Amino acid sequence: MAKIYKTASGTYSEDELVIAIWLNSKRNAKRPQARMLETLTSGKSAYPIAFPIAKLQTIKSWMFCPVAKSSEELDAHLSSKEVSQLNPVLVPLTLARLALGWDTFHIPSEYTEK
**Inside any domain, residue 56:** yes
Number of domains into which the chain is organized: 1
> pLDDT by residue (tens digit) across 22-33?
988 766 556 666
Domain that holds residue 24: 4-100
CA–CA distance, 27 with 39 (Å, rounded to integer): 14
pLDDT band at 96 (very low <50, low <70, confident <90, very high): very high
Could you please report the per-residue DSSP string of 41-54? Answer: -BTTBSSPBPEEHH
H-assigned helices in 1-114: 53-56, 71-79, 93-95
Phi/psi of residue 24, nearest 5 degrees: -75, 110
**Inside any domain, residue 112:** no
More confident residue, 80 or 93: 93
> pLDDT by residue (tens digit) across 39-89?
989 888 899 999 999 999 999 989 999 999 999 999 999 988 788 888 999
The pTM for the full model equals 0.85
